[in-house]
Amino acid sequence: MQGLRGLCGGHEMDLVTLAQLILLLLRNLNLKPRKYRLEDLAYAIAAYLLGVQVTRLGIPPSTLYYYTKKLGVKRRREERPQCASCKSNKVIKNGSFKGKTKYKCKTCGKTFYQAYNHKMSKEQKERILKEYLNRMSMRAIAKVEGKPLTTIYSFIRRKGIEAYVHLIVLREQLKAFTAKFTVIDESWSYLRARRGPKRIDLWIWNALVDGVPLSITGNRDHRTFNYLLNSLPKSEVYYTDGYPVYQVLNNHIAGKEYTYTVESHNSYCRAHLARLARDTRAVSRSEAMVNYSLALLYVMYPVVYSREKTPLNEAYLKGIENIRNKLI
Ligand SMILES: [Zn+2]
């Protein structure tokens, strides 16, 4: 079980892989939580291990700690600063003043604040997310906000994971509905470099379910498509282009003329995220970060591509509003 802790220490371990690993372990331990789906719990634990605050995951901390302990993973401990005067590591938290955490040294008894405090105000946090979702690169945000790039990066990543986890739960709830129409399309993107041998192709599959955007990333193949399809609510009719993988669909209408709404969704994503635009130097290094960024976008700037209100897209907008309130 120690391996699990090692895995999450690595900075780029992605949420989905970690959650699947945890799910496997939870199943092996034959744990059956009464109130929560095992999948949701696995995602919450994974997000927690990746640095999301325990109070932000929609599952009570006591429940989360209980299952985390069952997995044999130690609770994450916040890093504590060294004592300012004697450099001891035996430091405890000792209340707070004006939002800044106070620490007390158990060796020499002095109280002190952390020397470099990169804590951000609520307004600044919200502004940073908006800047990120309006095509600014993290580097540019770091400059404008006067914060270290690593602070900006880990903040956006943490918020992205949070949004992603909540969206998974919302998606599951939407499966209770039947959509009137679903439009599906794949759009190409890339990781690491625009050109050259380092480039990795990444396909973003977008479905608009009663106009609600639900997307996943992966290859342009059957497997990824099936994965997407399994995560969608049932639909009365499907519109796609002529790409062969879609032929397994029932009530299926193929033709480029039906998928224009997805095209406008693609350009919406590109207009908001520098990493998806094809004419900037901002480049995605990991698929996970693309997913977290899209989740953030869906939560902070919700859109529905349908003039008609349906129970499904109304439930979605209400769910998104709840997630947004939890996020900031
Ligand atoms: Zn001390």
> Phi and psi dihedrals of 250, rounded to 5?
-85, 160
Cα 46 to Cα 67, 161, 203, 212, 229, distances in angstroms: 11, 9, 24, 26, 24
pLDDT of residue 84: 78
pLDDT for 280 equals: 66
Specify the pairing of strand 182-191 against strand 178-179.
unpaired
Distance between Cα 153 and ligand 1 center (Å):
32
| Alpha carbon of 93 to ligand 1 centroid (Å) | 13
Instruction: Please give the helix or strand (H or E) that residue 76 lies within, else none.
Output: none
Q: Quote the ligand 1 centre to 89 CA distance (angstroms).
A: 8
Q: What is the pLDDT of residue 10?
A: 44
Q: What is the DSSP letter of 250?
A: S
- For residue range 29-88, list pLDDT tens digits in order: 888 888 899 999 999 999 998 888 888 888 898 899 899 888 887 776 667 778 878 888
For position 162, what pLDDT does the model report? 95
Beta bridge partners of residue 254, listed in sequence order: 240
Centroid of ligand 1 to alpha carbon of 118 (angstroms): 22
Distance separating alpha carbons of residues 239 and 253, to the nearest angstrom = 5
Query: Does residue 117 carry a pLDDT above 70?
Result: no
Report CA(1)–ligand 1 centroid distance (Å): 35
Q: Where are the alpha helices (DSSP H) in 133-185?
A: 138-145, 149-174
Q: Which residues surround ligand 1, an ion (CB under 5 A)?
A: 83, 86, 88, 105, 107-108
DSSP 75: P
Q: What are the distances in angstroms from CA 92 to CA 83, 99, 199? A: 10, 17, 47
Token pair belonging to 261: 């709404």
- Distance from Cα 115 to the centre of ligand 1, integer Å: 14
**102 CA distance to ligand 1 centroid (A)?**
13
pLDDT in tens, 246-260: 888 989 998 877 788
CA 183 to chain centre: 23
Residue with tokens 């599906």: 184
Residue range 122-145, pLDDT digits in tens = 899 999 999 999 999 999 999 999
User: What pLDDT, on a 0 to 100 scale, did the predictor assign at position 5?
Assistant: 46
Decide if pLDDT at 279 tops 70: no
Average pLDDT of the residues of the chain: 87
Residues 6+ apart with CB under 8 A from 71: 1, 4, 22, 25, 26, 29, 45
Residues 6+ apart with CB under 8 A from 220: 186, 188, 201, 203
